[in-house]
Structure 1
Amino acid sequence: MLPVKRLLRSVSALLLAAAVATVPAATAAHAQNAAVTSSGWNDYHCKPSAAHPRPVVLVHGTLGNSVDNWLGLAPYLTARGYCVFSLDYGQLPGVPFFHGLGPIDRSAQQLDTFVDKVLAATGAPEADLVGHSQGGMMPRYYLKFLGGAAEVNALIGLAPDNHGTTLNGLTKLLPYFPGAEDLLSLATPGLADQIAGSAFLTKLNQGGDTVPGVRYTVIATRYDEVVTPYTSGWLEGPGVRNVLLQDLCPLDLSEHLAIGLLDRIAFHEVANALDPARATRTTCASVFS
């Protein structure tokens, strides 16, 4: 058998490599922030319009950050008149740029604080949340346990791991190596929390997937190599809409990275979920819209 530490390295490497699919390479020292603000993204002077009365908060995935994860979707939404904001969460000491690695319950507290800041700046009573991967699942803790349902109208998840991931079965090997799970939890608790069957996910999903008063949309891809099976992202309950990207466009081959970073078919469906009263059909042609 592999030594425990070697297994841990193997599991961590696969988890980290898979999660890297939520971000491109870190851009030069986060220097985009000034340009982002000037383009209307993370502009705290932005006031929601009558057409789009709620600010949109973007929640990055594991190993993501508030800029790199949203270089595609944030401009897409600001160009359509939304006030768009994004946060960093789940930072580990000494690890720059690559976030979402800390305990997920603490990350949810960071999201709570950030939403309060956005609502205070914009004057809006509620926000809409759009998250990729962990960022589509973690807000559910905020909604369920931290009072977020009073501050959020809708949660839209792009390839979220709402019921965890098996990474194609690899995580099922962990119990055979005593101490491996504990080591993983100590090194990168945000990764350990996302393993199917974790204590965090058991608590999160106990008693139902949803809370009253919030609309939920899950947008998944059958080619997801990180959230496995991809159906673990589905939610059950009132106000839920589960969407498979390939049902909208059979030609769409996006996997875990592309659905959050650059897939304009997915982006069009996000826009529909943000404004269902003005929704238009999402098809393969939506890539041109």
Structure 2
Amino acid sequence: MSSLTLGRRTSRALRRFILAGISALSLGLGISCSAGQAVAGEVTPWTGMGVQLPAKDNLTAAKLAGTGTINPSPSGANEECTPAPGQNPVVLLHGMASNAYESWSAIAPILKAQGRCVYALNYGAYNHLDGQGSSAIGLLPGFSGMDSLDHNLAEVSQQIDLIRQHTGAQKVDLVGWSQGGTLATAYAKEHGSEAVGTVVSIAGVLRGTSLFGLSNLHKELVEAGVPITTAVDGILGPIGNDLLEGSDFMMRLKDGGIEAKGVHYVAISSLMDEAATPLGNSQYNSGDYRNIVLQEGCPGDLAAHLGMPYDPRSLAYVSNALGGNVPVPCTSTVGPFVPGSSL
């Protein structure tokens, strides 16, 4: 490969990596509106989270509402709570460049209304605090989940231990969006059915993402000695490398299968997903599992990666996976500022 060709490919690769995170980045720039009003529900201090803010029906509205509030909690989450007999606390794990409130503003109050104990904490800050590194996106307020998957898994594991301790629960049920699906799956594989009842993955990056072939280009550039890993780390943080298909973390997670015996798994995926690709990498394939594709039985549902936690069809599937019994609607998705929106 000539140096000119390599240079061009490197430039294109950097642009494509930037574009891969730009949809999340655009939500956090130029926002100056005041935070939403806190709603009823006292957040217990041991969670380290801030006040509850009102539910929103799309990601952009939640991003705006949470601006100016430190670690806001979704309505219905992070309260002192004792699980009902036969039920587990539900732990919601947000995705990359997101946080607990904007990821789970819609889902948390639904699960609380089902009578569940709901917890949604932030993890994976990458902003030079506590001695860790930082990235361009990680320095933005409200953008969590940017550290390495190993670091994030260790942090989430500590949070789950804390939740189990304070609720007296032996097991938890996990719901994860995007990277959150990765971490929920990794935690369940590590701890098994002794600690986890159900894992629900929403657009989870379960076997790494190809990003439509970008992971192959990343590998080629690394092999050619191009410092693409360092460039990605500087823009996104370590998570930008770890979520790619073929990363060390993903290879370890896949070794021996990603599913743990005795744990029930539900994967909710979309044919419109532009971030967790290909489709099979967001699904389970062994043990006690169910894979759901939003467009099966509802081709008009166009929810893509950023819209899935607010898509009414996704919300119903999550509710039912955790013991609910609600109709699953067929809805359409038309843009980033309306209910069930996506980019």
Q: Tell me which interval the TM-score lies in, with the shorter structure as reference length.
A: 0.7 to 0.9
List aligned pairs for 1:274-285, cutoff 5 A: 274-275=322-323, 279-280=325-326, 282-284=328-330
Kindly indicate whether the alpha-carbon contact (under 8 Å) linking 1:40 and 1:46 is maintained by their aligned counterparts in 2. Answer: no
Partner of residue 40, structure 1: 76
Q: What secondary structure does 2:123 align onto?
A: coil
Q: CA RMSD in A?
A: 2.6
Partner of residue 124, structure 1: 169
Give unpaired runs (5+ residues) of structure 1: none
List aligned pairs for 1:47-58, cutoff 5 A: 47-50=82-85, 53-58=87-92
Deviations 1:151-208 (A, max 9, x none): 1111100011111112222332224433334314643211101111111111110111
Give unpaired runs (5+ residues) of structure 2: 28-57, 129-138, 334-343
Identify the match of residue 185 of structure 2 among 140, 160, 166: 140
Identify the match of residue 15 of structure 2 among 10, 24, 29: 10
Aligned residues: 278
Distance 2:256 2:24 in 1: 28
Kindly indicate whether the alpha-carbon contact (under 8 Å) linking 2:122 and 2:144 is maintained by their aligned counterparts in 1. Answer: yes
Call closer, same or farther: CA 1:253–1:4 in 2, change over 3 Å: closer
C-alpha displacement of 1:29:
2.5
Task: Give the residue type in structure 2 aligned to 1:75.
Answer: P
Partner of residue 167, structure 1: 211
Task: Give the residue type in structure 1 aligned to 2:250.
Answer: L
C-alpha displacement of 1:79:
2.2
Identify the match of residue 196 of structure 2 among 152, 170, 179: 152
Distance 1:60 1:143 in 2: 16
Call closer, same or farther: CA 1:19–1:205 in 2, change over 3 Å: farther
Does residue 246 in structure 1 map to residue 295 in structure 2? yes
C-alpha displacement of 1:243:
0.7
C-alpha displacement of 1:142:
1.9
Distance 1:19 1:234 in 2: 23
Partner of residue 255, structure 2: 206
Deviations 1:231-264 (A, max 9, x none): 211111111111111114232111111111x112
Task: Give the residue type in structure 2 aligned to 1:240.
Answer: Y
Call closer, same or farther: CA 1:8–1:180 in 2, change over 3 Å: farther
* Structure 1, 13-22 or 192-201: larger mean CA deviation: 13-22
Tell which structure's C-alpha radius of gyration is larger: 2
Q: Give the structure with the higher percent helix.
A: 1
C-alpha displacement of 1:282:
2.6
Distance 2:122 2:16 in 1: 25
Which 4+ stretches in 1 moved above 6 angstroms? none
Deviations 1:123-161 (A, max 9, x none): 22211000101101122222223x254211111000111
Does residue 179 in structure 1 map to residue 214 in structure 2? no
Does residue 218 in structure 1 map to residue 267 in structure 2? yes
Identify the match of residue 264 of structure 1 among 293, 312, 317: 312
- % identical aligned pairs: 30
Kindly indicate whether the alpha-carbon contact (under 8 Å) linking 2:192 and 2:260 is maintained by their aligned counterparts in 1. Answer: no
Kindly indicate whether the alpha-carbon contact (under 8 Å) linking 2:146 and 2:239 is maintained by their aligned counterparts in 1. Answer: yes
Partner of residue 59, structure 1: 93
Distance 1:246 1:281 in 2: 16
